[in-house]
Amino acid sequence: MKSLSEPVAHGSNGSAAAPFLRIDRLKKRFGAFTALNDVSLAVRRGEFVCFLGPSGCGKTTLLRAIAGLDPQDEGTIEIAGRDVSRLPPAARDFGIVFQSYALFPNLTVAANVGYGLVNRGRPRAEIGARVRELLRLVGLADQETKYPVQLSGGQQQRVALARALATSPGLLLLDEPLSALDARVRLRLRDEIKMLQRRLGVTTIMVTHDQEEALSMADRIVVMNHGAIEQVGTPAEIYRTPASAFVADFVGSMTFLDAEVAGPGRIRLGGIDLSCTDANGFARGAPVRVGLRPEEVRVRNIDGATANRLDAKIESLDFLGSFCRAQLKPDAAPGVTILADFSANLVRDLKVEEGQTLTVALPPEALRIFARGEAR
């Protein structure tokens, strides 16, 4: 067994082109409910991928199908070039961590971590050494003889992580591993898991409904909704160029406004003409939805040359700590409400107040265009 601390050595089937995990047209139904609808995905070796989506979107179903715990109805799954579609969980090669930790309460920390090793007929000394190495790795070197109930939630989750890694699986599956922890512990463990994953190079899939978690941890995010994949991309791609109104709305916040295409690169929003770099591929006059992230509304450095300049009245201003969220009503289009986030120092510097009229700009490259009637 190779030491975990060494950088990962790619095996014979680890050529850069071939994905480590390949999922092809997966389908799964529970009665009348479609949990997975034709899902295909490829994950590279050593990658950290997050399945992100609201509850019931199929992300956990997909994870459990990969593990073989709830096999899919149709479609194939390949791990490391091997078709595992019809194999039971134990014949696949993965370690798994659950939200509930699922630690065996009657076994010590060491026995929990060594649970999968004992079964392989290794000498006791070797198992002991391996367990100690893993516990050192997750920062619990001195807790070997304790029982799970004597540990905090964060510590228990680290034990679960060590147990999942003990058998050196090729794939690490994390099913909402941080959701049961309180906010502070969650932040710390987020960093620790990420660092550990980088160090070990183990291909990792994490299911989460927490967008912040996904954005900060993943190499790539798979956004899911209604049993289908909405978008796959790096955190920056997902945030900056959401492929659908659903993604835009689920990751970060966004104002959605009804508009129509006024010409190439131009849209018409309730009497205001705006230029918009995203407005291509739609016919003139096509009804669309415009999305704008509140933090993109610009207030400073506006001059006569600034595009999409407009005057707007501040209807309300809600204090949210480090920033304020304003509801803006453009003078030229009183039926429209635009959300804008103003940083605390901007509010202080410009003495922004409720009822005041402000000149703002909506940057053309920040306006995202989606087809009208698209499911959110």
Partner 1 sequence: MSVAALERPASAAQRVSRDALVMRAGVVLLVAWLLITIALPLWSLLSKSFQDADGHFVGLANYVRYFSTPSLFNSIFNSLWVAVAATAIVIPLAFLYAYALTRTRMPAKGLFYAAALLPLFAPSLLPAISLVYLFGNQGFLKGLLFGASIYGPIGIVVAQVFYCFPHALIILVAALALADARLYEVAEALGTTKPRIFRTVTLPGAKFGLINACFVVFTLVVTDFGIAKVIGGQFNVLATDAYKQVVGQQNFAMGAVVGMILLLPAVLAFAIDRVVQRRQIALLSARAVPLEPRPNKLRDMALIAYAVALGALIAGVLGMAVWASFIKYWPYNLSLTLSNYDFSSFDSAAWSPYFNSLKMATLAALIGTVIVFTGAYLVEKTKVAPAGRAIAHLLAMLPMAVPGLVLGLGYVFFVNARWNPLNVFYGTLIVLVVNSIAHFYTVAHITALTALKQIDPEFESVSASLKVPVWRTFRRVTVPICLPAIIDIAIYLFVNALTTVSAVIFLYGPATKPASVAIVHMDEAGFTAGAAAMATLIVLTALGAKLLHVLLDRLVLLRLQAWRRR
Contacts with partner 1, residue ranges (CB under 8 A): 1-2, 4, 8-9, 11, 67-69, 80, 82, 87-91, 93-96, 98, 100-102, 104-108, 115-116, 119-120, 147-150, 163-164, 166-171, 173, 202
Smallest gap from residue 32 Cβ to partner 1 (A): 17
Q: Which amino acid is at 101?
A: Y
- Is 202 or 223 the residue whose CB approaches partner 1 more closely? 202
- Is 8 or 302 the residue whose CB approaches partner 1 more closely? 8
Distance separating alpha carbons of residues 211 and 37, to the nearest angstrom = 22
Three-point CA angle 71, 77, 80, nearest 5°: 130
Cβ atoms 155, 143 nearer than 8 A: yes
Cβ atoms 48, 190 nearer than 8 A: no
Smallest gap from residue 171 Cβ to partner 1 (A): 8
- Is 113 or 358 the residue whose CB approaches partner 1 more closely? 113
- Is 82 or 240 the residue whose CB approaches partner 1 more closely? 82
DSSP alpha helix (H) spans, the chain: 59-67, 109-113, 115-118, 124-137, 153-165, 183-200, 211-217, 235-240, 245-250, 344-350
Smallest gap from residue 150 Cβ to partner 1 (A): 6
Going by C-beta distance under 8 Å and a sequence separation of 6 or more, which residues neighbour residue 376?
245, 246, 249, 256
- Is 95 or 235 the residue whose CB approaches partner 1 more closely? 95
Instruction: Give CA torsion, residues 113, 176, 194, 44, to 10 deg.
Output: 100
- Is 64 or 289 the residue whose CB approaches partner 1 more closely? 64
Smallest gap from residue 115 Cβ to partner 1 (A): 6
Smallest gap from residue 88 Cβ to partner 1 (A): 4
Cβ atoms 139, 147 nearer than 8 A: no
Tell me the helix, strand and coil percentages in the chain, rounded to 5. 25, 30, 40
Smallest gap from residue 374 Cβ to partner 1 (A): 37
